Structure 1
Amino acid sequence: MTIRNAISQIWYTRCPVPTPVGLATQLGLLDETFAREGITLNSIIDSKDRNIRSSHFNHHLDYSFRHGGNVPPIRARSEGNPTRLVGITWTDEFQAIITLPGTGIRATRDLVGRRFGIARRPPGIVDFMAATALKGLVSALSLEGLTHKDVEIVDIALPDSVLDNRDGPQLYGLRNRQAYGPEIAALLRGEVDAIYVKGTPGISVANLFATHTVAEFGFHPDPKIRINSGSPRILTVDERFAEDRPDLVAKLIETLKRASAWAESHPDDVRRFVAREVGASEEVVASANGPDLHKHLGIGLEPDLVEAIGHYKDFLHEWGFLASNFDIDAWVDHRPWALLDTRAVA
């Protein structure tokens, strides 16, 4: 193959959730793979430069890849940002509607006419947490034949962008602020009656405040109920990376597949590595992601996975989170996978 562009560094980023990228990073596999090519990996999310960090959400950096929640990359694509969808991982996680004891809300039908709180960030970066909470609400209500019109949606205004307050004493030495603080505070003040939570932070706050679970559906048998910002998660690369060095994109995917294969035979190590990734205890990880987490860190581009992303993209468009609609199939890039298949045959 003729290399059309030699590069010395690649930017990458991942969300603090279970992903093959996070696993491959902790195992040293990604550094090893790209070092053989004379390439240095630089972390977007750990940069001190706000403009660089913003690429975690808008994917603007050339020669970069991202693996994590799907709302920001879907929004970036809807804005015309030239990226390619090259891999999808489906790792189910705890998703629930919770309330405080004493509200009288015991089941989903009790939400009718009650106040459902959704945290809202200032305009700018797509409000992925609001999108996540809305999809969770819609999913839960649909199981009882209800819609969002059956509840009162109450906005919980947040003052800062997700790019702000990345350091300082208010974080107490941690990298990120614990999720769902404003939502829980609104519950405690009696301003809302119920909220949506998910993943390890959702389990943690539900446990801390001894909340009542109104509905839990993160492992529901119907995939369209489970589909949300983190189910599934997507691997995207920018267009220059995809066009100039498809061979390196193929090596990236190959490395992630190695990490996924390793995970299947190392369940205890996976739980420990993910706990480090998400900033939670192994007990919380086991509760949030289930006992078979190690079996659900694979990556692919099968039609059902692409369809799931399309389903959530349509939800985001319907609810006004996208700049415009777009064709999911035109976003998907199968070329790196074809390169891998060619190597396997050879």
Structure 2
Amino acid sequence: MSDEKLSEIWYTRCPVPTPVGLAAQLGYLEETFAAEGIALRSIIDSPDPAIRQSHFNHTLNWSFRHGGNVPPIRARSEGRKTRLVGITWTDEFQAVITLPQTGIRSVSDLKGRRFGIARRPEGIVDFHRATALKGLVSALSLEGLSHRDVEIVDVAVRDSVLDKFGDASLFGLRRRPPHGEEIAALIRGEIDAIFVKGTPGIAVANLIGAVLVADFGFHSDPNIRVNSGSPRLLTVDELLAEKRPDLVARLIEAIFRASEWAKAHPDDTRRFVAREAGATEEQVLVANGPDLHHHLGLSLEPGLIAAVGAYKDFLLEWGFLAGDFDIGEWVDPRPLEAATRRAAA
């Protein structure tokens, strides 16, 4: 153990199903670090945009992150000194939807049609766009089509996810749900179909009475399902990993504890995830399936690492990364191995 003295650690998680989110709500994270005399500070809850930006670019020292994989992969491609210490795979609703009047009823009907994909302002990696593009590619592959068989139409989004934190335009909420601009373009007839996912996707598809063109979030082929949220990554900055690996192992122990709690409390887990996602329990049940409580673990199994590598290659091909890097060199298995040994003991 290092004698490095710390008074606080920064952390962040996405508003989606993650064992870190569950551990935070159960008090396990705060309890774990309080025992070490360390206070937890939430990056995403900070009123300072410069701090909140680390949720997307992983710039803060002494920090960890659990959530969608596009920002940490992008940060690593830019040379950020981070470590991948755990992977969670929780399947979720992924679909292409349209409106009844388009006449689109199947993936093959998408050929030659306009597919709307949001494009956000510069500043951070456009993970929403990356997600929608992978969703489009996956959907088209179900019928042997490619992105060249459709017309991709950019839908401009004015606000950055870093803007308007607490602004009156959010009507008292913390963030604006995704897909708003795409839905508006769909209703105006400017595009013919869009990609949606997760509990927000379920909500908007229900709201507009959408036609389901393709539903593949639980497809048997993981290459079809892999996207920004499948799998989700636990990453830590290099300083924390090298100077205090004991704390990273303690973090993973707290996550293990939350994962085991989830397995024994399926209904409570659904309620906690709904709170985390700002969704209803019904939406969580539909979006993530009845076995969600069994899919909030953490591991570095070779198949999961390969899935991260496959999505990294997709992001590189589509121009979302600053450069290529070796996934194997990014992975640091030591904290997970130490936590597993302690759990077994």
Q: TM-score range by the shorter chain?
A: over 0.9
Question: CA offset at residue 270 of structure 1?
Answer: 0.3
Q: Mapping of 1:1-346 within 5 angstroms?
A: 1=1, 3-343=2-342
Question: CA offset at residue 315 of structure 1?
Answer: 0.2
Give per-residue Cα distances to partners, 1:157-183, cap 9 Å, x unaligned. Answer: 112221012222221111111211001
The alignment partner of 2:101 has SS state of coil
Quote the Cα distance in structure 1 between the aligned partners of 2:243 and 2:111.
53
Question: CA offset at residue 224 of structure 1?
Answer: 0.5
Quote the Cα distance in structure 1 between the aligned partners of 2:16 and 2:312.
20
Quick one: which amino acid aligns to residue 136 of structure 2? Answer: L
Quick one: which amino acid aligns to residue 305 of structure 1? Answer: L
Quote the Cα distance in structure 2 between the aligned partners of 1:302 and 1:252.
19
Quick one: which amino acid aligns to residue 101 of structure 2? Answer: G
Question: CA offset at residue 341 of structure 1?
Answer: 4.3
Aligned residues: 345
Question: CA offset at residue 340 of structure 1?
Answer: 2.5
The answer to whether the 8 Å contact 2:47/2:165 transfers is no
The alignment partner of 1:322 has SS state of coil
The answer to whether the 8 Å contact 2:114/2:193 transfers is yes
Question: CA offset at residue 345 of structure 1?
Answer: 6.5
Quote the Cα distance in structure 2 between the aligned partners of 1:295 and 1:337.
19
After TM superposition, the structure 1 stretch with the greater mean CA deviation from structure 2, 333-342 or 147-156, is: 333-342
**Structure 2 CA distance for partners of 1:134 and 1:189, relative to 1, 3 Å:** same
**Structure 2 CA distance for partners of 1:336 and 1:192, relative to 1, 3 Å:** same
Quote the Cα distance in structure 1 between the aligned partners of 2:107 and 2:243.
51
The alignment partner of 1:270 has SS state of helix
Question: CA offset at residue 103 of structure 1?
Answer: 0.3
**Structure 2 CA distance for partners of 1:5 and 1:194, relative to 1, 3 Å:** same
Q: List alignment gaps of at least 5 residues for structure 1.
A: none
Quick one: which amino acid aligns to residue 242 of structure 2? Answer: E
Quote the Cα distance in structure 2 between the aligned partners of 1:167 and 1:304.
40
The alignment partner of 1:237 has SS state of strand
The answer to whether the 8 Å contact 2:81/2:237 transfers is yes
Quote the Cα distance in structure 1 between the aligned partners of 2:173 and 2:190.
29
The answer to whether the 8 Å contact 2:17/2:296 transfers is yes
Quick one: which amino acid aligns to residue 291 of structure 2? Answer: D
Give per-residue Cα distances to partners, 1:189-242, cap 9 Å, x unaligned. Answer: 111000000000000000000000000000000000000000010000000000
After TM superposition, the structure 1 stretch with the greater mean CA deviation from structure 2, 53-62 or 330-339, is: 330-339
Question: CA offset at residue 102 of structure 1?
Answer: 1.1
Structural RMSD (CA): 0.9
Quick one: which amino acid aligns to residue 108 of structure 1? Answer: V
Question: CA offset at residue 312 of structure 1?
Answer: 0.2
Question: CA offset at residue 343 of structure 1?
Answer: 3.4
Q: List alignment gaps of at least 5 residues for structure 2.
A: none
**Structure 2 CA distance for partners of 1:345 and 1:22, relative to 1, 3 Å:** closer
Quick one: which amino acid aligns to residue 248 of structure 2? Answer: V
Quick one: which amino acid aligns to residue 259 of structure 1? Answer: A
Quote the Cα distance in structure 2 between the aligned partners of 1:42 and 1:7.
12
The alignment partner of 1:102 has SS state of helix
Quick one: which amino acid aligns to residue 204 of structure 2? Answer: V
Quote the Cα distance in structure 1 between the aligned partners of 2:235 and 2:344.
26
The answer to whether the 8 Å contact 2:94/2:217 transfers is yes
Question: CA offset at residue 4 of structure 1?
Answer: 3.8
**What is the TM-score when the length of structure 2 is the normalising length?**
0.99
Deviation beyond 3 Å, 4+ runs, structure 1: 341-346
The alignment partner of 1:10 has SS state of strand
